Structure 1
């Protein structure tokens, strides 16, 4: 959630319009019932009434009215979000813009030349994933975007009559739009949704930002900020992703990018009506016009239009070839497709050079410059697609290839050293392992299909379309070499001295154990001459660190500290090897999955771990909130860029001596937090039973919000549960355990309270960590959580475990308030405090109703309206909490 407080006048205004819509469509009785619940809940939160009065009103609702009530509170939360987003977010403070970051660095003695030097080799990439934490349908998101655009043109709390009528129209559409998906989305749906956001908001905004930054820094900049995508290539635990979805994802990106280029070329053709009789043109431009095939007499003296006719025709032919369907508007003349984006850029450069030579540089600096920048940024593929698969799968596939080729009868029985030696020998020779007439297992055939599709994509789109192959559960060097074995089978990895491979194997260190082992794995990997040669040839080696699974494994505080220390140790390994490191941060939306303000998170990275190169996943509900409108996309992209500059070029936040003291103290605190968290979650008898009864985990698993299953396996063990439903279910129950448990006792028992206060005040790492924890505490509610605990039928189990959770929450709150010198949570951020408090009267009643509906359903009531009510309430609570997934 943003720290900006929603404009209260906007909230009241939108709430009034929503009330009018409900009254018009459902009648006064339904409206009065909903309004009565709202007033009762507000009174409870003001301290003017007891919760019993609210419970009585909720109990009086029949099932039909209950569904209307849940929908009403859901829509109010969505509208409040729009009011909040309209308020200037904190990340738009001056230092969170590129100009502001340059000024800050200038005061530290870092000049603009140093900034340009950094950006010359930088890569900043938000990477969209299909992780299922967005419970809203795209139809709902589209209506919200329209309302947000209308609201932006209004004064605080009022609009002109026409705009108000449009608002009422869109709110009516929201009210009458089914909030829940009727079928589970398939990967193709997720691909379409992602590119709808990227195409509408990122594609047109990024070239404008680039032009602004080039003007600020005085000259052309390389395309350092590029969007990425996992959807269609991430098959870790998702059986629905295969070679077909990979091809579909790339084709969808190409269609969006090339469709945009065609639209811009069409506009340019209309604009560039320059006559050769009134302005000189270069010989290259004349040649481009003559080669276009455009012989319409009325354009005989308009060489720019004729030239652009040819560029358009070649782009349209390219669209048909690589997007594999007809372009929106075919070219007027026959033309061959462009072989690559560089060829298109060459033609655009001819047009630009001629305009500048003819004294029309101001014309070239407009739409043509933006189009040229877009092609440089996005190429023909638009967003770079990552591949991802679990290391266990690679191990089985490579074992089968080696066995059927007669190389090794039982690869999986080998230890790490033997595997490395065997794989290294295979990678050194050109011989293939796959045999043309061998019937491979379904798993192996599927994995070979993926890498064959990747090789075909490189030929079709160019090497930038796929650059990284993420290896989940990476625990050794062999896990990375196995990827290169598979890529060698399709000619992407080419043996030699040095070898060549345009796709990089990237280890993903996810658990606490993986993060601790990561530096040793990377040291051993980079000690291999050919692995080091590959990294040096591309200029860097990427390492991905996972926030979600490390949190589920070790708790919030330990996860954050393990990520911090792991990144620092890996940095040192790369420094010793003389190779640049690129970290890829697998962050989610919820604090328990690495969420929180991106600006603060990037700035809090350990010194020397950014250096102008960073990739960050953007998931679920975060995609719509950060990139759902052009304005939001602009803010998010500029924020990420400014934070990367400050983290890369700014001085260390604390002197080395203080950093050493702080780290020693943090290691002690993290150790105790880890033991406390593990003791509760993995060491307490019956905890899994409590978790599954006291949260709506079962009901969440039924939601049709993503194409991937909730668990990696059929086991119901917490270890096998995906981190997303783990965090999401605790958030729904308002316990939010993954975002705070273990921290209170560890911080409270640390003996040197003075040192701890010094760390909180002067160390960005701990300040950002506790700031996010504080937000989680403010959104949790132990009274509401107690209602969910009441779903646990075993009274002894309920009392024993919930008692530990409740006392842990209270201690965490008390310790945090003491360390920060506050009387109440969020006192230091009053805007955020007001925003959270404004929402709670609309979230708590949804929780209470959800508990009752879950109780009835689990008791055997099969009325389908009960399931609808539960799922709608999940939607409403998620909308109110915002960053709950």
Structure 2
């Protein structure tokens, strides 16, 4: 199939043109060019001055120009805004090229070509309608919408980003001059930052908008599929209900590491999704009725009856949804609504069969092809989505399941403790042997305090009273033992939901990925699990590129996941598992560190699920469904306009339904000795990095304090139990903030790191392998791209801020000024050299590795191989300038902190404590304390003789007004800190995603 056409980017051209012509940016633009020239000149001197750091030197120079009055914060703010707008526009251009944005008509033409190809075998003979129907009614691919905290821009700016990307408005209209002008004003005039205080409700609202856009794209897909079927199978096409792609969501249902989502919140969210979908079905029925008014009486009556049935169900759902929106409803109120739900008079819709049957009756009452097609598309949607806008994924942590079962079997310690493992499994198998479903109600659900059991009870109630037409996925995080899955199976049987529940372990740690195939093998030997899987007809697993990338490094994680995929295919063949579809949910995000290949959408999908993996499943006749996640605001971007959404869906279907391009002679898979050694070296590098206390020091230098809050989920994991957890360990920082910290420090270590070490072991073998392996070229493109966005000079410059010697050198240079005194004092307060030395040791490891990586990349070029990922120099320069400006601002914040007046220690709070908070960039908390300690008084309180009977001349010292401190210290710190965080957004846009 031909490659997508490059976008014209007319709106983007206007944006770039306008931002360069804005008078407010004249000085900023001049400063940017000056900094670029100086940076290039300094880099050219590296060979003669190898100890120099151009990033630090430029930041120092800006800082001194600020102090001398030769530069203002206003100009730096304008520079940040200019670079942010340019990064925003560049990002839109890259996304457009990345996904290959095309018109609705062009995408439909590609889909038509794809579906026609499915109707013919390798000998170019048309297959039977039944075989064609099986292909199109099977869900070959799945989209999962999640609410990971990647809402790095405001909703308005995300909408503008999507519109620039697709060159159309959110409702699909071409952008005219007026619309472009409005978008330009928004992007140029707005502060580039997330919406404040984003919560689960806001996340869910944006998720539902993305899902609605996907549904609209799927209507176009179904229309094309039916057109192809009508052309090739004119006698039977109306029997087709295409599905091809599923849409699921866990927004509001993901309890892994969260303690802030109640059972009522989850139920309300699910009911709300049903209300939305039933309303959608009514709107589509109204469209059909309006267009075909005046048809046969029987047909009009049938359509009206379908609409009435859905409307009645909607009224019931709306009433119950409203009740469960209140998390604080009384027990008596819960009893009332529970009785109302249970004694329903038949108005409720839980199954889709009656709607589909009614649509089939309507189909038989008309000969009009356009009406038939409209009805079949609606039938397909009902068959695909069920009675909610998306399928439901719930997620718990394995520890929550272990805690639930512990008392039932007398389990002490962990399930796989060597001395007790057999006993634990034997006890659990005994429960499975005898389990019988029990009855529950909303009262017993509300009274249950064990998270895992409460979730199964809630699932039972949702199947009974919300939607029993589509299965629910039960995802289990941090799962590395079959005991966890069997525990989930026990509770699924206990609460009577095993017929509609797909239990899915998440393999994301190094241990879990190594043991994943062994876990599945042991499960297949268990009669209860084997029977369950065969009855369901599906075996589901989830892999986590984000967390695995944190533990193992991104590329070594992808290789470990690929090995698991392949082992699973061979395992199912060895165990002779037949009639069972394998569903692999490859959870990954929009950044390289979380598994998104930067070259193209096609490369991204092949990186996550390699052609060799797909070939292996096909050769063993094992049906495979791949699912991928689109995470938070950065992920929803791909569905921001109709054209963009259809393009994205088309790319997914081309990947899932197109012919495999696997090369079984790829040297990565044939030269297994070298490939395995390479993988193990890479994996060891990252595992050692994660356990290195110096890496913790590097991540903890500013932690997440340079970042805005980008979602409702906490940056660090929340736990039901806190004992035995090292909260300072990098593993306790979630994957997205972990990646975001690396982005903000300027070195994408978990993507670019480790390769130099792996390459250095045998450079010639690496060059040869790269030339003979599509798989290696693909991940090396990613590595070189990440290296192009990284410069070790940048984290070394940040580390220097914690080096007392740096501040002493600065003080020496300016001699006897007040600024020198502040710098001398600061040299004592940045701490002893332990923190700096730890950061420096870690950066030396990265530097040694990077030297070998550069040699490896140079060797590829010298060998005549295609240059590895040509890079945009201006983009890299802009990225470094953003870091330079922020390094300057942080220095000014540190020096302003030296001017904070002394105060009496109180409540274990000292001035040094607050200064240390500021040095760690914990600015909001520090300023809150400072403003309370040094209050502003509007005027002195006068205690008059008229009020108290005698005059008073006393003035309370504590009532002193600290307006000057606020104006000259606290407010400037706040302004500079806000600018630092705005820079963080510019950096994220330059890289392409948050975290």
Query: TM-score if structure 1 supplies the norm length?
Result: 0.82
Q: How does 1:120-135 map to 2 (within 5 A)?
A: 120-135=137-152
SS at the partner of 2:15? helix
Of 727-736 and 142-151, more deviation after overlay is shown by 142-151
1:74 corresponds in structure 2 to 84
1:873 offset after TM fit, Å? 1.3
2:249 aligned with 1:229: yes
Of 705-714 and 71-80, more deviation after overlay is shown by 705-714
1:875 corresponds in structure 2 to 985
Superposed CA offset, 1:817-845 (max 9, x none): 42365889x84655xx3xx4343343222
Q: Which residue of 726, 729, 733 maps to 2:741?
A: 729
Q: 1:503 to 1:437 in 2, by over 3 A?
A: closer
1:98 offset after TM fit, Å? 4.9
Q: 1:109 to 1:513 in 2, by over 3 A?
A: farther
Q: Is 1:712–1:722's contact at 8 Å kept on the other side of the alignment?
A: no
C-alpha separation between the residues in 2 aligned to 1:348 and 1:95? 26
C-alpha separation between the residues in 1 aligned to 2:189 and 2:500? 50
1:290 corresponds in structure 2 to none
Q: Is 1:82–1:144's contact at 8 Å kept on the other side of the alignment?
A: yes
C-alpha separation between the residues in 1 aligned to 2:442 and 2:987? 55
2:468 aligned with 1:463: yes
1:787 offset after TM fit, Å? 2.4
1:256 corresponds in structure 2 to 276
Q: Is 2:707–2:981's contact at 8 Å kept on the other side of the alignment?
A: no
Q: Is 2:716–2:733's contact at 8 Å kept on the other side of the alignment?
A: yes
Q: How does 1:276-287 map to 2 (within 5 A)?
A: 281=296, 286=298
Query: TM-score if structure 2 supplies the norm length?
Result: 0.74
2:27 corresponds in structure 1 to 33
2:697 corresponds in structure 1 to 689
SS at the partner of 1:614? strand
C-alpha separation between the residues in 2 aligned to 1:110 and 1:542? 34
Q: How does 1:88-103 map to 2 (within 5 A)?
A: 89=99, 98=111
Q: 1:750 to 1:827 in 2, by over 3 A?
A: closer
Q: Is 2:611–2:662's contact at 8 Å kept on the other side of the alignment?
A: no
C-alpha separation between the residues in 1 aligned to 2:5 and 2:887? 31
C-alpha separation between the residues in 1 aligned to 2:109 and 2:864? 29
2:490 corresponds in structure 1 to 485
Q: How does 1:738-749 map to 2 (within 5 A)?
A: 738-749=750-761
Q: Which residue of 647, 666, 673 maps to 2:682?
A: 673
Number of equivalences: 810
1:203 offset after TM fit, Å? 1.2
Q: Which residue of 368, 379, 385 maps to 1:372?
A: 379
C-alpha separation between the residues in 2 aligned to 1:96 and 1:790? 57
Q: Which residue of 418, 425, 448 maps to 2:423?
A: 418
C-alpha separation between the residues in 1 aligned to 2:7 and 2:886? 26
C-alpha separation between the residues in 2 aligned to 1:517 and 1:729? 30
C-alpha separation between the residues in 2 aligned to 1:78 and 1:259? 36
Q: How does 1:179-258 map to 2 (within 5 A)?
A: 179-181=192-194, 183-199=196-212, 201-216=213-228, 218=232, 219=237, 220=240, 222-258=242-278
2:624 aligned with 1:625: no
2:316 corresponds in structure 1 to 321
1:278 corresponds in structure 2 to none
SS at the partner of 1:505? strand
Q: 1:86 to 1:668 in 2, by over 3 A?
A: closer
1:788 corresponds in structure 2 to 798
1:62 offset after TM fit, Å? 3.4
1:13 offset after TM fit, Å? 2.2
Q: How does 1:799-814 map to 2 (within 5 A)?
A: 799-814=840-855
Q: Is 2:769–2:776's contact at 8 Å kept on the other side of the alignment?
A: yes
Q: Is 2:143–2:628's contact at 8 Å kept on the other side of the alignment?
A: yes
2:704 aligned with 1:698: yes
Superposed CA offset, 1:712-741 (max 9, x none): 567021122222211121122221000021
Q: Is 1:543–1:584's contact at 8 Å kept on the other side of the alignment?
A: yes
SS at the partner of 1:873? helix
2:713 corresponds in structure 1 to 707
1:535 offset after TM fit, Å? 0.8
C-alpha separation between the residues in 2 aligned to 1:711 and 1:519? 27
Of 84-93 and 317-326, more deviation after overlay is shown by 84-93
Q: Is 2:475–2:506's contact at 8 Å kept on the other side of the alignment?
A: yes
2:588 aligned with 1:587: yes
SS at the partner of 2:586? strand
C-alpha separation between the residues in 2 aligned to 1:215 and 1:45? 58
Q: Which residue of 889, 908, 913 maps to 1:853?
A: 889
Q: 1:428 to 1:556 in 2, by over 3 A?
A: same
Q: 1:562 to 1:490 in 2, by over 3 A?
A: same
Q: Is 1:236–1:389's contact at 8 Å kept on the other side of the alignment?
A: yes
Superposed CA offset, 1:231-256 (max 9, x none): 11111111122312322332232233
Q: 1:818 to 1:224 in 2, by over 3 A?
A: same
2:143 aligned with 1:138: no
C-alpha separation between the residues in 2 aligned to 1:681 and 1:185? 30
C-alpha separation between the residues in 2 aligned to 1:502 and 1:878? 41
Q: Which residue of 618, 628, 633 maps to 1:616?
A: 628
C-alpha separation between the residues in 1 aligned to 2:447 and 2:854? 52
How big is the alpha-carbon RMSD for the aligned residues of Structure 1 and Structure 2?
3.9
Q: 1:64 to 1:704 in 2, by over 3 A?
A: farther
C-alpha separation between the residues in 1 aligned to 2:802 and 2:269? 44
SS at the partner of 2:255? coil
1:490 offset after TM fit, Å? 2.8
1:853 offset after TM fit, Å? 3.2
C-alpha separation between the residues in 2 aligned to 1:144 and 1:94? 21
Of 189-198 and 608-617, more deviation after overlay is shown by 608-617
C-alpha separation between the residues in 2 aligned to 1:521 and 1:96? 44
Q: 1:373 to 1:436 in 2, by over 3 A?
A: closer
Q: 1:780 to 1:343 in 2, by over 3 A?
A: same
Q: Is 1:101–1:645's contact at 8 Å kept on the other side of the alignment?
A: yes
SS at the partner of 1:232? coil
Q: Is 1:128–1:619's contact at 8 Å kept on the other side of the alignment?
A: yes
SS at the partner of 2:434? coil
Superposed CA offset, 1:587-618 (max 9, x none): 12222222113333234352324744111122
Q: 1:866 to 1:342 in 2, by over 3 A?
A: farther
2:344 aligned with 1:346: no
C-alpha separation between the residues in 2 aligned to 1:582 and 1:53? 52
2:515 corresponds in structure 1 to 517
Q: 1:242 to 1:528 in 2, by over 3 A?
A: same
1:385 offset after TM fit, Å? 1.4
Q: Is 2:556–2:679's contact at 8 Å kept on the other side of the alignment?
A: yes
Q: Is 1:605–1:765's contact at 8 Å kept on the other side of the alignment?
A: no
1:539 offset after TM fit, Å? 1.4
Of 306-315 and 539-548, more deviation after overlay is shown by 306-315
**Please, which runs of 5 or more residues in structure 1 have no aligned partner?**
154-158, 276-280, 287-302, 328-333, 494-500
Q: How does 1:823-834 map to 2 (within 5 A)?
A: 827=867, 833=871
1:760 corresponds in structure 2 to 770
Q: Is 1:454–1:466's contact at 8 Å kept on the other side of the alignment?
A: no
**Please, which runs of 5 or more residues in structure 2 have no aligned partner?**
45-53, 323-344, 720-725, 804-832, 895-917, 924-968
C-alpha separation between the residues in 2 aligned to 1:81 and 1:37? 23
2:410 corresponds in structure 1 to 408
Q: Is 1:560–1:769's contact at 8 Å kept on the other side of the alignment?
A: no
C-alpha separation between the residues in 2 aligned to 1:564 and 1:91? 29
1:335 offset after TM fit, Å? 11
